C-alpha cells in the first residue's frame, strides 16, 4: 500500500497539535481541539481549513467549453468570467463519477475543483472524452494549496489582509488578488452551510496564507478546523458527500440534485437521466431524525418502512448546532405497495440489532440566518 500523501501545510498542522487521519489518500487533520468546538466556531465566528487534498484541473483553449458541456450536468455556458458553479460529472448510465465546482477565470479559461478520492478517476475520464485533445487539460493539484475560511466573520477577517474589497465579492463568484501578500484566487464558495471563501494559491505559499489568516482572525474567534467538523457542518446543511450520498450507482436526480442537471443538452449521461425523470426514480435521498433524540443512525444502518427493509443510511451524526442526531439515507420508491417517502412519515432504523423509531424530515437540517451578502 502506498504511503499517504501530505499537503503543503502538514508542518503547520503538526505545530498546532492536530490529530491526523488518512482521507482520500492524504494525511489530514481530523481536529485540533475537538470536533464539536470547531463546528460551533464555524457557526458563530469562523474556522480555517486546509483543503489542499482536493484536486484542481485547468481546462483552457477555444474548445474548453465544448469539453465541459459534454462532461458536466450543469451548463458551464451560463457562466460569465468571474463566476462559479456547482455541477456533476456522470457516466453513460447516469451514475455519479464526481461532484465538483467549475470556476470561470477568463475567456476560454476554467478551473475545476474535484474530490480528493476521485482525482485519478476524474482525470482519466476527462482525458478519455476529450476527443483529439481539442481542449487543453492540465492537472495542477500538486502545485495548488487550498485554504478555506468559513463562518459569519470570514469577510471581515479576510478584509484586513486582502488587497481588494473581498466583502464585495458575490456568492459563487471569484476574484484574483493578494491576501496576506500571497497571490490567490478567492472564491466565495464552501461546503459548510455558512458564508465563506475558498482560497486557491501556489503550494509554496500555502503555509504563509494559512498562518497569516489565522493570525488576522485571532481576536475574532477564528480557529483552525479539521475534516471532522467539516463533515458535521456539511451534514447539518444537507450537502451530499461523495462516497456517502453520491457514487457510481447513484444519480444526481436520486440525490436531490436535479436543479444542477440541465437536460436537453448532449452531455454524457443525459439520455439515462432523462429516462429516469420520465419513468421515475428507484430511490430518493431523505433527511432522518430518530424519535428518541438520542440514537444515532450511522452510515450503513438499514432503514425500515411498514415493517420491511426500505433503504440504507448514508451519513449520520449528533448535530452540534441542532443538539440531536441527524442522518441522511436512501429509501426505495419503486415499490407501489409502499407509501411514498415524505416529510413527517414514520420509519425505523436498525441500530444495534433493534428497530429505533424515526421520522423523515425535510432537508436541510440547518439553514444559516439571512444576511445582506451581495448576490
Q: Using one digit for the tens of pLDDT, what is the confidence trace for 83-97?
A: 999 999 999 999 999
227 lies in the same domain as 291: no
The pTM score is 0.95
- Domain end call among 236, 270, 292: 236
Number of other residues whose CB lies within 10 A of the CB of residue 140: 14
47 lies in the same domain as 157: yes
Residue 320 lies in a domain: yes
Per-residue pLDDT band at 133 (split at 50, 70, 90): confident
- Domain end call among 201, 236, 271: 236
Which residues, other chains included, contact 117 with Cβ-Cβ below 8 Å and sequence gap of 6+?
24, 25, 242, 243
- Domain end call among 198, 220, 236: 236
Q: Is the pLDDT of residue 134 over 60?
A: yes
Q: Using one digit for the tens of pLDDT, what is the confidence trace for 239-277?
A: 999 999 999 999 999 999 999 999 999 999 999 999 999
CA distance 131 to 134: 6
Domain at 347, CATH number = 2.40.30.110
171 lies in the same domain as 229: yes
Q: Is the pLDDT of residue 355 over 60?
A: yes
Q: What is the pLDDT of residue 336?
A: 46
Q: Using one digit for the tens of pLDDT, what is the confidence trace for 175-222?
A: 999 999 999 999 999 999 999 999 999 999 999 999 999 999 999 999
Residue 154 lies in a domain: yes
Quote the domain boundaries for residue 318: 282-361
CA atoms within 13 A on the CB side of 312: 6
CA distance 23 to 73: 27
155 lies in the same domain as 220: yes
Count of domains observed in the chain: 2
Per-residue pLDDT band at 342 (split at 50, 70, 90): confident
Residue 166 lies in a domain: yes
Q: Which residue has the higher pLDDT, 373 or 17?
A: 17
Q: What is the pLDDT of residue 375?
A: 33
Q: Is the pLDDT of residue 371 over 70?
A: no
Q: Is the pLDDT of residue 307 over 70?
A: yes
Domain at 231, CATH number = 3.30.1360.120
Q: Is the pLDDT of residue 2 over 90?
A: no
Strands 109-114 and 136-139, by their bridges, are unpaired
Amino acid at each position: 500500500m502506498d504511503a499517504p500523501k501530505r499537503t503543503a501545510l502538514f508542518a503547520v498542522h503538526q505545530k498546532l497539535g492536530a490529530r491526523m487521519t488518512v482521507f482520500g489518500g492524504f494525511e489530514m487533520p481530523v481536529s485540533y481541539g475537538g470536533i464539536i468546538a470547531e463546528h460551533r466556531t464555524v457557526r458563530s465566528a469562523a474556522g480555517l481549513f486546509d483543503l489542499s487534498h482536493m484536486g484542481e484541473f485547468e481546462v483552457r483553449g477555444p474548445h474548453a467549453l465544448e469539453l465541459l458541456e459534454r462532461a458536466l450536468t450543469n451548463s458551464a455556458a451560463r457562466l460569465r468570467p468571474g463566476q462559479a458553479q456547482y455541477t456533476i460529472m456522470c457516466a453513460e448510465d447516469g451514475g455519479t463519477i464526481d461532484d465538483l465546482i467549475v470556476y470561470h477565470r477568463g475567456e476560454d479559461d476554467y478551473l475545476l475543483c474535484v474530490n480528493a478520492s476521485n482525482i485519478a478517476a476524474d482525470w482519466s475520464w476527462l482525458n478519455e472524452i476529450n476527443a483529439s485533445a481539442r481542449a487543453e487539460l492540465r492537472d495542477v493539484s500538486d502545485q495548488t494549496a487550498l485554504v478555506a475560511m468559513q463562518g459569519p466573520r470570514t469577510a471581515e477577517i479576510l478584509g484586513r489582509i486582502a488587497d481588494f474589497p473581498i466583502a464585495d465579492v458575490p456568492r459563487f463568484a471569484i476574484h484574483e488578488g493578494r491576501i496576506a501578500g500571497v497571490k490567490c484566487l478567492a472564491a466565495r464558495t464552501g461546503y459548510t452551510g455558512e458564508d465563506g471563501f475558498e482560497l486557491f494559491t501556489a503550494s509554496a505559499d500555502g503555509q504563509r496564507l494559512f498562518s497569516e489568516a489565522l493570525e488576522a482572525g485571532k481576536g475574532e474567534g477564528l480557529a483552525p478546523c479539521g475534516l471532522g467538523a467539516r463533515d458535521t457542518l456539511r451534514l447539518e446543511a444537507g450537502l451530499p458527500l461523495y462516497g456517502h450520498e453520491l457514487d457510481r450507482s447513484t444519480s444526481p436526480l436520486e440525490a436531490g440534485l436535479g436543479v444542477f442537471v440541465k437536460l436537453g443538452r448532449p452531455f454524457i449521461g443525459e439520455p439515462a437521466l432523462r429516462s429516469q425523470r420520465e419513468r421515475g426514480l428507484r430511490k430518493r435521498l431523505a433527511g432522518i431524525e430518530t424519535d428518541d433524540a438520542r440514537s444515532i443512525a450511522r452510515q450503513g444502518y438499514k432503514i425500515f418502512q411498514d415493517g420491511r427493509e426500505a433503504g440504507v443510511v448514508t451519513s449520520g451524526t449528533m448535530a452540534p448546532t441542532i443538539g440531536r442526531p441527524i442522518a441522511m439515507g436512501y429509501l426505495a420508491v419503486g415499490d407501489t405497495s409502499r407509501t411514498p417517502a415524505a416529510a413527517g412519515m414514520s420509519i425505523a432504523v436498525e441500530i444495534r440489532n433493534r428497530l429505533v423509531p424515526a421520522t423523515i424530515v425535510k432537508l436541510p437540517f440547518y439553514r444559516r440566518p439571512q444576511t445582506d451578502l451581495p448576490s
